Amino acid sequence: MRADERMISMNIKRAAVSALIALLMSVHTAAPAFADNDAACPNAGVSAAAAEENSVEDTPTAEREPELKKTFTETVPREILSAKAAEERFIESSPELKKLGEYVFEGDTVPCSENDPSYHKYVDRLMNGLTEGSELAAPVASAALPMYLPMSALYGADKLVHQDRFANVPKSYGIDVCYFQGNIDWEKVKAQGVSFCILRAGYRGYGKAGTLVLDDKFLEYLKGAKAAGLEVGVYFYTQAITVAEAKEEADFVYKYIKGWELDLPVYFDMETVENAVGRLDSAGLTTEQKTDIVEAFCDRIAEHGYRSGVYSNPQWMTYYLNAKRLQAKYPLWLANYTTCTKFAGNFDIWQYAAGRVEGVSSPLADLNVRYHLYTAPAAPANFGTAAEISDKVTLCWDAVPGAEGYEVFKRGNSDTTAVSLGAQKALTRSIDLTADNYYYYVMSYITVNGKRMYSEPSEELALSKFVPTAFGCSERTTTSLTLSWTGVENAVSYSVGMLNSETGSFTVIANTSETSWTVTGLEPAAAYTFKIRALTESNGKVYYKRYSPEVVLGTQDNKITGLKFVTKTADSVSIKWNASAAEIAGYQVLRYDEARQVYVSAGMTNQTEFTVGGLKEGTAQKFRVRSFYRTASELVYGVESGVLNCATKCAAPTNVKTVSTDTNYTVSWTAPAGANGYMVYAAAYGSKPVQVGETTELKYTVPVTAKGMYSVYVRPYIKCGNTRYYGVSSATVTAVCGKTAPTVKIASAAQTTLTASWNTVPYATGYEAYIKAPGSASFIRRGTLSASAVKYIFTGLTAGSAYSVKVKAIFPDGTFLYSTAVSGNTAAQPKTVDAPTGIKATTATDSTVTVVWKKVTDAVKYRAYLYNETTKTYRLQNTVTDTKYTFTGLVSGKMYKIKILAVPAGGSSKASAVYEITPKPVAPKLGLASKTETTATLKWDAAPLCSKYYIYLLDPLENTFKKIATTTSTTYTVKKLKVGTRNIFKIKAVAVTNAANFNSLFSSQLSVLTRGIKYYPACSDQCRTLYDGFGELGIEKTYAFQEKIAIANAIKGYEGTAEQNLAMLATLKKGKLIVPQD
């Protein structure tokens, strides 16, 4: 387009906009336009999705991406048809607006066009503003109401509900504008209460070409807003669909803001084009791709040296952008048209409505509230110094709410800039003083976007060594204070100031060239405030230096009176005194330390009685008391009281003993620590002791007028001056005057014992019995007895031996007397026989057992004992002179214990060892368990008390049973039997004891035919003899063969008798005669 055509186009557009504005102002109300109206606004603890009333379904962004893409490419165009039609009807009603919409401008300096993504947004707000009200709407303008409302009503600040987190945050209000706001009188805007504005720098067209366009009013707005003193920020409306395009847009903005100082960030505006489908909407970008584009723009702006931020709404921050990434790096300018946003993310500017602002020619401008989250903290207050120490001083100041830290700065007299001493968290800083004068101040700070935001500086302090130091009191009385200080180099004199409590001002009370001054005529226990400064001379002139810090010094309180002793323990002393008449803080108790030869503090109290603990038992103590009170500068002690001498309680005397005669007794003891005197108390035994004497020695003799027992104890004390401080009394001991020894005799004697007896000794508390064995040189104590004992039996002695015995009487005073020793002989030892041996059982029946044993030398008889299980004792069964005895009345199957005792004619007897016996066991019941051709397995019931069994087999030839085996089991297999033979078995049960093996009777016989048996055929009844039968059957007829046949058929003791042969013939006739098979 040629330059002249462009000028004509611009003039036509401007005329159209002016006419449109005039039309709209004739009918538009002054109410701000809100997108939604909330009845109530909860605190911002809700999610960002819940904060946007008109947001899409509450579905995570990643899951909704395909659906969102479809919404922008398919669904939205159909929905736009009705909105578009309404918009077109609105534009048709305004020829000027229609004409504006028909122009298409290109290039970065031409006016805005339909490709401007803000165009439809602006038209939509005009439509809503003209046709809809809001909860903040004001009445339609009339003769009675002005067209413009006050700013507080215009932007609805009085009806906004702020989130709790912004309750104490400073707030300001502003507008954001673009070309559509027309001409702006920025001074009028500022007069409405607007303190900031955000200007659109330009946009990228939403058409396919995506042309970059500079907002036609940007530079005009920028100059006007700056001239009016408003804080200015910038935004760019993007349609970028790549990172490269985002960087291109950032470079485009920088081209026009370069050289301008911005107060607010450059914001990147990414949003949906209203009532149209823009190139960004139809690009099908993912959430992360859109976020990459935003970051690319913001980071590029930062590279150009400007702060950057994001303009967005809750829907986009929830569903279309990665809010976590963006809010970690950039401030958010939130668009949310409502009376209370529920958005829970971080933001510091909130675009909450659109409304009329005086000074803006357009009917609508966007309204914003700004939260000053990054306002610099306040300057630290009460910047000063703490007490000075030597060449150092401590700077101190009050904490500043919200401050992150502090920096102290220092400059010299000729310095134009100060030097930082470093950042710190503490509220104090120690510095070294020098002879040169330096100025100090402190600033608080917070950190914003990695940079410190400082407060205004505090008041400055000028410090140097020329201030007198160590200013205090070197001596004081109840009516005077001697002030002293460290001199200042080159000082010619010092001026001493004293505070007048009535006027509240200081009065110079002295000028002196010395470094001390005594103030007199003061009140006792009173505080006075002083300060001092040095005067120096240079070139004939006197210069006053800075005053020292004020010190508050106090006079002494008067002397404490009435100090007295109250009570004591082994390690403590309690004292009391009269209260001071002055207003004091308390009292200090002083104790004299003998080791250091000085009084030391024993404690402080606000009472007039005090217990000093931790003292040593039995020690003399000295105490003093003085009052104290505190001034702002020091602790002041009063005049000390007089000395109180007292002592802790000493321990009781130990090792208390008495030594008595018929006419007196002497008590002695070991001294307890610290005691220097003793009281002696005594009385007849059973009476209450009374004081009988006092001594500083460790013994005392008490005379008596009669023999008897006496009680005595000693009470120690520590004497301080004329006062005795008593300790713990000793234990009471007894003295006996007129003691006698016992008279002893031998009362009786036995083989191993001697019994001694004696007379009762008066006052004796017990006795000890002693004995001396034959050949021994010394007596051995064998018994300790009570005072009532009059005999003692000495045991364990040797028979037929001579012993000496004596008795010692013990008295209450610890003394004793021995009797004269007497002799006595024990009885002779009788003869002893051996215990019976060789005990064994010889015969047994089912109820008796006969036992025999070997004859014992010198035994004249024997006693037989049987153990009783009920009484658990051995009971005598009988006494016999023979060496055998039959125990009767026994029960078969039960074990019995017995003993045999040999009895001599005189002397002692000895019993045998224990033996066990049992009556004859019950015969077992024998049976057959199984058999084969050559074996037979026998079985039987277990017999009580029996531990083994004998197996017997009949020998037919000898006609006797022979023992073939012994077993501990109840079964047994007999092997190597002949095939097809008859075998006869029986068994015995055996009970084993140390007296004998007790065998049962034989069991019944058991006949067993081994398997494989063969029988001869039966012979005829006509056979009369065995030979006839054998002959009929052709059987060998020899005697030897007949013997085999008899053995096979278990014929007992076969000898070929007629009777045996007839028996075999009868069996043969039955066909049951067994054929021998070997």
Band the pLDDT of 336: cuts 50, 70, 90: very high
How many C-beta neighbours within 10 Å does residue 58 have? 11
Share of the chain above pLDDT 70, in %: 82
C-alpha 156/C-alpha 30 separation (Å) is: 11
Both tokens of 989, joined, read 């049960």
Q: Which of helix, strand or coil describes residue 1069?
A: helix
Range with lowest mean pLDDT among 74-78, 541-545, 907-911: 74-78
Confidence of residue 540 (pLDDT cuts 50, 70, 90): low
In the predicted structure, residue 761 carries a pLDDT above the cut 60: yes
Q: Strand ranges (DSSP E) for 641-695?
A: 644-647, 654-660, 664-670, 677-684, 690-695
For residues 379 and 372, give the distance between their C-alpha atoms in angstroms, rounded to a whole number: 17
Question: For residues 295 and 268, what is the distance between their CA atoms, to the nearest angstrom?
Answer: 9
**What is the model's pLDDT at position 846?**
87
Q: Indicate if the pLDDT at residue 56 is higher than 70.
A: no
Residue owning tokens 């803000």: 118
pLDDT digits (tens, 9 = 90+) for 719-755: 998 999 999 999 999 999 989 999 999 999 998 999 9
- From CA 24, how far away is CA 11, in angstroms rounded? 20
Long-range contact pairs involving 607-613 (C-beta distance under 8 Å, separation at least 24): 608/576, 608/577, 608/578, 608/579, 609/566, 609/574, 609/575, 609/576, 609/577, 610/574, 610/575, 610/576, 611/572, 611/573, 611/574, 612/572, 612/573, 612/574, 612/575, 613/571, 613/572
Write down the pLDDT at residue 892: 86
Q: How far apart are CA 739 and CA 763, in angstroms?
A: 8
The set of residues, in sequence order, having a beta carbon less than 8 Å from that of 37 and lying 6+ positions away, is: 134, 135, 338, 339
Instruction: Average the pLDDT over 185-195 and give the result.
Output: 93
Task: Set out the domains of the chain in order of their start, with CATH numbers.
Answer: 3-31+61-371 (3.20.20.80), 384-463 (2.60.40.10), 469-554 (2.60.40.10), 564-647 (2.60.40.10), 654-737 (2.60.40.10), 744-825 (2.60.40.10), 840-917 (2.60.40.10), 926-1009 (2.60.40.10), 1014-1078 (no CATH)
Which 3 state secondary structure label does DSSP give 469? Answer: strand
- Distance, CA of 522 to chain centre: 60
Q: How far is CA 971 from the centre of its chain?
A: 72
Mean pLDDT, rounded, for 901-906? 85
Percent of the chain with pLDDT over 90: 55
Amino acid identity of residue 856, one-letter, is V
Q: Say whether pLDDT at 449 is over 60.
A: no
Q: Residue 587 pLDDT > 90, yes or no? A: yes
Distance of alpha carbon 732 from the chain centroid: 55
Q: Which class for 282: exposed (0-12), middle (13-18), buried (19 or more C-beta within 10 A)?
A: middle
Question: 463 - beta bridge partners?
Answer: 438
| Per-residue pLDDT, 573 | 96
- Residue 232 CB contacts under 8 Å (≥ 6 apart), including other chains: 196, 197, 198, 199, 222, 225, 226, 260, 262, 263, 264
Give the integer Cα–Cα distance in Å for 196 and 179. 17
Q: Which tens digit of pLDDT belongs to each residue from 78-117?
A: 344 444 555 555 555 555 455 444 433 333 344 444 467 6
Q: Tell me what the mean pLDDT of segment 364-388 comes to.
A: 80
The string of pLDDT tens digits covering residues 1026-1039 is 888 888 888 887 88
Cβ atoms within 10 Å of 222's Cβ, excluding its own: 20
Give the span between the Cα atoms of 792 and 754, in whole angstroms.
8
What count of residues does the chain have?
Answer: 1078
pTM of the model: 0.37
Which residue is listed with tokens 């931790």? Answer: 614
The residues near 98 (Cβ < 8 Å, ≥ 6 apart) are 91, 92
Mean pLDDT, residues 594-609: 94
- Residue 3's pLDDT band, with cuts at 50, 70 and 90, is very low
What tokens does 991 get?
């009970």
Mean pLDDT of the chain: 83
pLDDT score of 363: 83
- Say whether pLDDT at 66 is over 60: no
Helices (H), 258-347: 287-303, 314-315, 323-327
Q: What is the DSSP letter of 287?
A: H
What pLDDT is attached to residue 546? 65
Residue 37 has pLDDT above 60, yes or no: no
Per-residue pLDDT, 956: 83
Do 488 and 471 contact (CB within 8 A), yes or no? no
Q: Write down the pLDDT at residue 840.
A: 92
β-sheet bridge partners, residue 576: 564, 609
* 855: pLDDT strictly greater than 70: yes
**Spatial distance between the Cα atoms of 415 and 439, rounded to a whole number of angstroms:** 10
Rounded to a whole number of angstroms, the distance between the first and last alpha carbons of the chain is: 148
Q: What count of other Cβ atoms lies within 10 Å of the Cβ of residue 184?
A: 24
pLDDT-based confidence at residue 137 (cuts at 50, 70, 90): very low
pLDDT band at 1049 (very low <50, low <70, confident <90, very high): confident
Q: Measured between alpha carbons, how far is 322 from 317 in angstroms, rounded to an integer?
A: 7
Give the angle 383-386-389 at the CA atoms, nearest 5°.
140
pLDDT at position 26 over 70:
no
- Buried b or exposed e, range 697-723, using 16+ CB within 10 angstroms: eeebebebeeeebbbbbbbbbbebeee
Tell me the mean pLDDT in the region 844-865.
Answer: 91
Q: Are 309 and 265 in contact (CB under 8 A)?
A: yes
